Each structure stands twice: as C-alpha cells, then as structure tokens.
Structure 1
Amino acid sequence: MLVGVTLRDRFKIIKELGSGGFGDTYLAEDIHCKNRLCVVKHLQLKPPNTAAALPIAQRLFATEAKVLYKLGVHDQIPTLYADFEVNGQFYLVQELIRGHDLTKEIYPGNKLTEIAARQLLIDILEILAFVQQEQIIHRDINPQNIMRRQDGKIILIDFGAVKEITTLHVTTPGHEPRSIAAGTIGYMPSEQFQGHPKLSSDIYAVGMLIIYAITGIQPHELPEDPTNGEIIWRNRADVSNGFAKILTKMVRY
C-alpha cells in the first residue's frame, strides 16, 4: 500500500482506487500543482522470471509512455503527466477523469434505444479514428474502459498495451514472447485472442459493445453460429436493418 507516500517528491498518494491483476491504482495530489488531483497506476511484474523479464518490461514501458504522451493531446483521452520506474516497479501518472464508466449505462437486461446507441457508436469511433491514425491498437475496449465525463463527453481510458508489462514472461533466453492476448473475453476477436491484434480488432470490440448496449446481453453470453463463427444477436435487438448491417460488419468473424 502506498497511501501516505509521496512519489518523486511530487505525487502524494491519498487513497487506493482499485486493485487488479496489473497492480494498484491510486488517487493522488500533484503537490507541484496545488489542488490538481491525478491517478497513479502502479504496475508490477508478475513472477516467475521477473529479473529476466525486466529489460523487456523497461522497453515496453518506455514505448507505452511515449504512446500515452502522444495520445493525451486528444481532449477525450487522459493526459499523461509523468512516468517513472523505481526498482523494477513502474508508475504512470494520469489525468483524473470525473464522471462514470459505461457500466452505469450498459448492463445486463438494459437496452439502449437505437438513437442512443448510434450516438454512442459515433462518439467512440471519433476517438478511435484519432487513435488509429497513430497506428495504435487499444486492445481492451469494453464498458469499463470508456467513461462519460461530467460534461457528457465520452473518454477512452486504460490502453491495453500496459498489460504486456505486467504479464510478461521469458520462456527462452534471448527470445521475446509474441504479443500477449490482453483483452476482455467477449470483446476480443479471434486474431487478438491468438496474440495477433490488428487495428480491426478494436473495431470488433466497439461493435460488440454496441450490440451489448442494444440487446442487454453480455457479449460472452451471445451464441455463435457453428457453421461460420458469426455472433447471433439480430433477433435480440429492435433496431433498423441499416444499423444492424453496420454492426454485423464490425463483428464479422
């Protein structure tokens, strides 16, 4: 626990916000900028082979920080204030987004109207268009990683590449593993699950999120057509054929 600790003589940890497989997330105060609250993500390597994986993790972390600095210029992606490493422990300090994530709007049994779902799709894709112009794959788009800020704007958070650092392992000396299948079951297309994510993988995830929003059924609970692997959902949603056609294309196998 880091509560009460001041990192780099600047970021005073106030309280823990959450804990998961990647490490811990804290609310902190930037004492160099009075009254500015921020989020500190403490990323930890997992055993075994922590020492062997450290050099690779350092490179991945540096790359990830560079990506976040670049994307943070967009108003709907959190700004990265700082990144640093202390004794193999990695820290990201980001803008605090005031609002709620989409699990408050998209949940089992609740169905959005087509009008609301269309607008949400447009809002998400406008951010994703910027991300993909930079040739960056988020890899974990789901309701928890999309927030609605207090002003109503949609914010894309928690870029999945940081999870590579926390799950990294070395199987053969001198060889790096292929991309780790970071993501959330139900939102990952087959190529991502196999460790080969593409820009289109994020399109699939957004499509599944909107299908969840209009059916009220979580993606991993929707059946698949055994003959072609396609998700069966059309009979669960009351939307126009035109909108359904777009979503079907987004989640095509």
Structure 2
Amino acid sequence: MFKDPYEDYKILKCIEEGAFGKVHKARNLKTGHLVAIKIQDCTNDNFMDLYEECKLLESFNHQNIPKVMDKYYWEQKFYICMELCAGGDLTDIYMGTGSLKESQVAFVAKEVLETLLYLHQKGYVHRDIKPNNILLTDAGEVRLVDFGSMSSIQTEKPTFIDGTPAYLAPEYVLEDLNGDYDERCDVWSLGMTLLELAEGRLPLLLTSSYSYCKYWQQKNRVPQLRKRDKWSPAFHSFLEDALTLDPAMRPSVEKLLQHEFLSNDSLTRVNLTLSESNRVTV
C-alpha cells in the first residue's frame, strides 16, 4: 500500500467532498474499470484509525457493502479505492425526481435491513443510517456506506454523540453518556430515513444534538406519515414498529424483515432518471 496510486489509477472528477475528505471518480489504468477513490489527509495521529477502518471494510463480505479494491498511503494521504456507485445517493435521487413510491421505499427498506442484519450479526452498530449513506449502482442495486460512526455492540461504545441528529434514536441521544443503547438504534434511523424518502423532506427539522435532545426530553410525538390515505396499512404498521419510542419494545432487524410490508410482490427498484452529470457517490 506504500506506493503512488497515480501509477495505477487516473483520478477524474471530484464527486463528493466533506469533513472526511474527498471522493473522486477514477479509472484503473490496467483494466479501464471505473472506481471511487476516497482521499483523506493522513497524519501520525490518525493513520492507524484510517488503516483499521479500511481493514474492517475489507473483511466485510456482503453484496450491499461496496468492495474495497485497493488502498494506498502516499504523501500523507490515505487512498481507499472502492466500487463506484454511479446511481448516486438517495437524497440526490428524491431531490431530483421527487419522493419515492411505496414499492420503492419497501425495496430500499428490505435491502438496508438485510445489510444491517449482517452487520449486527458481526457485532456492529452502523449508527448513521440516512439517505446520504444509501447509494445505488447503475443497475439500481443498494449499497450502504460510511462506516466512520460504526461501533461494536458490546464494547467500545463512544461516550459522545456521533451521527446525524435528525436520524438519531431518542435513547441514543438521551442516554449516550451511559452507553444505554444497542443495535435497535439503527432500526429507528431506518424508519426516519423511509419517512423522508416517502415524503421528500426531513421528518424532524433539527440541526443539532442539543435541539434533538430537547425535543425528546419534552416528550414530543413520534413523526408519522402526513397523508395517511396515500399509504398502505402495511407501510403505516412498518413505520410504527420501526419508530417505537421504547427501544425495549422496538422490533429487531430480523423481526422487521418478516413484516408484510416487505412481501416480494410489493418491491420495485428505484428508477435512476438522474443524468450522469448530476449523480453523486460517496
């Protein structure tokens, strides 16, 4: 991994930029295949963190987790070469084409739940499920990304709030200093994500962990679909289960996978109608 990545890849346009660094589309000079390369500034302090995160991703073997193809450390930058998800993320999709149909929401729900079941069985909580972290391939296949907030279910639970406030489970925000949360916080985040995809807007317009904590301390109501007649009873039931306020009563990922909302005749892939120039991957 200690070699110049530009000997193997031609870096093309930047397709995403954030606090984590930048993601570029790139072409493998030997095979011609397109990939996504995540480039992060690297120091003596964070090298091992980046390396261990990459090794963990390499150890995952699930069809809905992008494959790591190469990794490099060069000139104080860490490069991770991964599968390119040219369809973009689900925020891009619904902002470009409008809210998703119920059958498409069901498809996303099933694919993400199957990925979470794999992670939970491995002993990990993702902790940052949201539309931005759900990508689509050109074929409309779902890929779950961004494992920077992931933690072990049993150990190493961070004693600080991490993740995106609008999607965080109430118990995670209210009890995080005691570490009193488990993998069911991912179920809540998925429920909030599905609400957003169905309605084309965030269910809760809260921008900070503090405001989110205040919201639940005041015992405000759990978000619901606004137009009840537009959606099937099965979808309402699924969301009520996923957004159960008491985590002890909230269904597990495994149980939700058996819900009637995810029956085979109700699932369709998300239409990829965005132009190539407007698609984004992370």
TM-score, structure 2 as length reference: 0.67
In 2 relative to 1, CA 228–93 (structure 1 residues): closer, same or farther, beyond 3 Å?
same
CA distance in 2, matches of 1:177, 1:199: 11
In 2 relative to 1, CA 78–58 (structure 1 residues): closer, same or farther, beyond 3 Å?
same
* Aligned match for 2:54, one of 65, 83, 95: 65
Matched-pair contact (CA < 8 Å) for 1:189–1:205: yes
Residues 1:23 and 2:21 are matched in the alignment: yes
Residues 1:217 and 2:215 are matched in the alignment: no
In 2 relative to 1, CA 87–22 (structure 1 residues): closer, same or farther, beyond 3 Å?
same
Letter of the structure 1 residue corresponding to residue 56 of structure 2: V
CA distance in 1, matches of 2:157, 2:89: 32
Letter of the structure 2 residue corresponding to residue 239 of structure 1: W
CA distance in 1, matches of 2:235, 2:47: 44
Output the aligned Cα RMSD: 3.3
Residues 1:140 and 2:132 are matched in the alignment: no
In 2 relative to 1, CA 180–93 (structure 1 residues): closer, same or farther, beyond 3 Å?
farther
Matched-pair contact (CA < 8 Å) for 2:5–2:72: no
CA distance in 2, matches of 1:26, 1:119: 28
In 2 relative to 1, CA 109–252 (structure 1 residues): closer, same or farther, beyond 3 Å?
farther
Residue 201 of structure 1 is matched in structure 2 by 185
CA distance in 2, matches of 1:12, 1:215: 40
Q: Gaps (5+ residues) in structure 1?
A: 1-5, 163-175
Matched-pair contact (CA < 8 Å) for 2:167–2:193: yes
Matched-pair contact (CA < 8 Å) for 2:9–2:28: yes
Q: Which moved more, 1:87-96 or 1:193-202?
A: 193-202
Q: CA deviation at 1:177?
A: 10
Letter of the structure 1 residue corresponding to residue 15 of structure 2: L
Deviations 1:187-223 (A, max 9, x none): 1223444475632222111110111122333133389
Residue 85 of structure 1 is matched in structure 2 by 73
CA distance in 2, matches of 1:204, 1:99: 25
What secondary structure sits across from 2:25 in the alignment?
strand
Identity %: 25
What secondary structure sits across from 2:7 in the alignment?
coil
Residue 5 of structure 2 is matched in structure 1 by 7
CA distance in 1, matches of 2:191, 2:148: 18
Residues 1:232 and 2:223 are matched in the alignment: yes
Q: CA deviation at 1:14?
A: 2.5
Letter of the structure 1 residue corresponding to residue 191 of structure 2: G
In 2 relative to 1, CA 179–116 (structure 1 residues): closer, same or farther, beyond 3 Å?
same
Residue 125 of structure 1 is matched in structure 2 by 113
Letter of the structure 2 residue corresponding to residue 61 of structure 1: L
Residues 1:188 and 2:168 are matched in the alignment: yes
Residues 1:37 and 2:34 are matched in the alignment: yes
In 2 relative to 1, CA 231–27 (structure 1 residues): closer, same or farther, beyond 3 Å?
same
Residue 167 of structure 1 is matched in structure 2 by none
Matched-pair contact (CA < 8 Å) for 1:64–1:161: no
Matched-pair contact (CA < 8 Å) for 1:225–1:231: no
Bigger relative contact order, structure 1 or 2 (CA pairs below 8 A, ≥6 apart): 2
CA distance in 2, matches of 1:179, 1:19: 27
